[in-house]
Structure 1
Amino acid sequence: MLEQAFNEVYTKFKLHFYRAVFGRFQKREASLTTVETFCMEIIMALGRPTVNEFSSFVGISPPNAAYKINNLIQKGYVRKEQSEEDKREYHLVVTQKYIDYYNISYSYLGTVMARIRARFPEEDVKKIEEMLDIISGELMPEIPLPRLSPRT
């Protein structure tokens, strides 16, 4: 069944990330709470949102969002960058510290993608990519994301 197969893959990605995060707690390297980790994932996915864009996306008040973001700034995971277009506006930019933290999850994605490329013929890989683009772009309009990097 499609639902079960997709849920299993999605769950394995989540569990891999959670296990890696808990491993950091064991080594006393983690300084993000669970909610802060979710906030960082959202900021990263939204690609340089403003505080208001972040608060609107997660459905919390701007003061509550500002409080959470200030904690992330103090911990060194986010910085504010003044907008070139509107000097009154600031964008949230993830720092290298968070990118290193995030790579726990992203490196596993790379591992799985390499296994897909090795296991399936190129035309199947292209079909999977096409299907994922359609799923993301057309079938999930409630969660628009900026294209983070162009595909080749």
Structure 2
Amino acid sequence: MTPQGQRINDKLVAVYNDIVQLEEIEIKKSQFKDLSIKEIHTINAIGMYHRKTSSEVARALKVTPGTLSVSINNLVRKGYAERLRSDDDRRIIHLGLTRKGRLMYRLHQSFHRQMVQSFLKDLNEQEVTLVEKALDNLQHFLDEHS
């Protein structure tokens, strides 16, 4: 790896670790201290408006339905999510957020919005496009290796 490649790698690792650590710290200081990062990302994947099935949420999180089921059970028990039967086909169960879950969703979205604004601060449109292209390349690599 080139020296520049090593510096970029070190920065990517540090940023990832710092984001996770900051999210954990902020959660513990909030009224949502009963949630794990994994549960917060599950809330985010359920989303606010479109009622998704467990399969759709599991695919979005890249986890098995069984793994998701454990998270959903915990979120239902803690009062953040609910299972809703379809009006059209009672066998189909959609996932939704309770009022408490929607509040957590908005808080998490706000954190990410602030983080992205800070990340792109003082960049011009061409630089933002370049950043987006680099992130697309990274995502493509991750998709190929998962």
TM-score computed with the length of structure 2 as normaliser: 0.67
- Structure 2 spans left out of the alignment, 5+ residues: 1-6
Q: What residue is the counterpart of 1:6 in the other structure?
A: 12
Which segments of 5 or more consecutive residues in structure 1 lack a partner in the other structure? 145-152
Higher relative contact order (CA 8 A, sep 6+): 1
Deviation at 1:95, TM superposition (A): 3.4
Q: What is the one-letter code of the residue matched to 1:107?
A: S
Bigger Cα displacement from structure 2, 125-134 vs 79-88: 79-88
1:45 lines up with 2:45 in the alignment: yes
| 2:74 is the counterpart of 1:71 | yes
C-alpha contact 2:79 2:100 (8 A) present in aligned 1? yes
Give the TM-score normalised by structure 1: 0.65
Whole-angstrom CA distance in 2 between matches of 1:52 and 1:132: 24
Structure 1 Cα separation of the partners of residues 24 and 75 of structure 2:
19
- Compared with structure 1, are the counterparts of its residues 3 and 72 closer, same or farther at alpha carbon in structure 2 (3 Å cutoff)? same
**How far apart are the structure 2 equivalents of 1:101 and 1:46?**
12
- Pick aligned residue for 1:125 from 117, 123, 128: 128
Please give the residue correspondences for 1:2-151 in structure 2 after superposition, counting only pairs within 5 Å: 2-24=8-30, 29-30=31-32, 32-34=34-36, 37-42=37-42, 44-45=44-45, 48-50=52-54, 54=58, 57-59=62-64, 61=66, 65=69, 68-83=71-86, 87-136=90-139, 138-141=140-143
RMSD of aligned residue pairs (Cα, Å): 3.6
Aligned residues: 135
More helix by share: 2
Residues 89 and 142 (structure 1), Cα distance of their counterparts in 2 relative to 1, 3 Å cut: farther
List per-residue Cα deviations over 1:79-122 (Å, max 9, x = no partner): 12334775412122233422322444432322232233332121
